[in-house]
Structure 1
Amino acid sequence: MTVKLIYETHSTTLDNEQGIATGWLPGRLSEAGLREAAGLGVRRREVDIVFSSDLRRAVQTVEAAGLTVPHFLDWRLRECNYGSLNGSPRKALEPRAERVHTPFPGGQSYWEVMELTRSFLEDLKRWHDGKVVLVVAHSANRWSLDHLLDSRASLEDLVAAPFEWRPGWVYEV
């Protein structure tokens, strides 16, 4: 058996709308984000369980989705910690590919985020085999999933590519 993992990024935040890289700061959904979260709830009714980052914007996305299945917070699903750049303009993080192995000042590297995501996936396989699992987290976690579950995708290429929102990604774990 396998786990069907449906991945969704948290909905749009006030920081997203202002071009701010929130990192490990909590963040808060905008009005548009609240509407997006409601749409997530409509399209993801078939899930058995939800895991999300413990950062406020991801938790708020799940709460606003109105799903009635169990929801668990997991700190391993946090966005990359940009350290002293948490809350900076998004452009201050560029070029991101340089941060795959080198941590942000006072923060993490994308490789460290990928290793935490790998640990989460191992637990998911062990405890939720045969389930449909929704994960609501951040862009760094999606890049990690793409790298871990599609060996053709280098983490350097993934973090350097522009982020394009879509209504979820589906993986088999």
Structure 2
Amino acid sequence: MAFAGAAVPVHQDPRLRECNYGELNGCPVSVLVADRSRHIDTPFPGGQSYRQVIAATADFLHDLASGWNGRRVLIIAHSANKWALDCLLDGASIDELVDAPFGWQEGWHYTLRP
């Protein structure tokens, strides 16, 4: 939708989908907030863990580096993927991120280093 009719290449990648909260998919965020820290390593029932999101994002970044090295790209994803980028590229701790308030802004800039 964002680039309809533009000459910008768009690639959809399932590794950037929101965390699969399994049985909790679609529930209010207030329900998830209370449960996040218990699912850093243990998957949500019928879903995935935040470490699995980090692993999928790391795999995505590996492919991104090999195909787009040195170029600027726009990634549109969800909060769990943003946390994964913070962990992988800025050295943040997922244990701290899941319990911290989410500081929304119009965008974040990361540098993928070889």
After TM superposition, the score normalised by the length of structure 1 is 0.61
Aligned to 2:100: 161
Aligned to 1:131: 71
Q: 1:95 touches 1:160 (CA, 8 Å); kept in 2?
A: no
- What are the Cα deviations for residues 50-103 of structure 1, in whole angstroms up to 9, with x where unaligned? xxxxxxxxxx4x347x75311010000010000010011112212311111011
* Counterpart selection for 2:62 from 104, 122, 144: 122
Structure with more strand by fraction: 1
- How many residues get paired? 111
Distance 1:131 1:103, change over 3 A: same
The runs of at least 4 consecutive aligned structure 1 residues that moved more than 2 Å come to: none
Structure 2 gap ranges (5+): none
Aligned to 1:71: 10
Q: Percent identity?
A: 53
* Counterpart selection for 2:29 from 86, 90, 93: 90
Structure-2 separation of matches of 1:79 and 1:68: 26
Structure 1 gap ranges (5+): 1-59
Tell me the amino acid that sits aligned with residue 93 of structure 2: S
